[in-house]
Amino acid sequence: MRALYLEISSDEGVTGIFGPIQRSRAFVILTLLKPFLVGRDPMATEALLDQMIRLDHHGRSGQIMTGISPVDCALWDLKGKPLGLPVYRLLGGPTRTAVPAYASMLGFSIEPV
């Protein structure tokens, strides 16, 4: 089994990761979003999200959003590392003391290969 993961690196060497992602998402990231993001401040997560959405005339729909979503998640991961904070803290902190869990095999076999 193979999977693609997104890793974004800052000029300071801090990285943010997200994945796995689909090939169609990787195509959007490599062809449209990467050229836009190179050289920009990765700590400006909200501004970058807004600007990425505005790159495409379809805005908050279509194929571009499937590429923007993993980039946004990886940027939040990158932002938390130099601040020493997990993403949930950056987004306002915990809102509950417990979270119900749900597990699914998503169609994968539970038998060893």
Domain ranges of the chain: 4-90
Domain 4-90 has CATH 3.30.360.10: no
At 110 the pLDDT is 67
At 113 the pLDDT is 62
Low-confidence ranges of the chain (pLDDT < 70): 59, 105-110, 112-113
**Alpha-carbon gap, residue 30 to 45, rounded angstroms:** 19
At 60 the pLDDT is 72
At 12 the pLDDT is 94
Whole-structure pTM value: 0.81
- Backbone φ and ψ of 16, nearest 5°: -125, 140
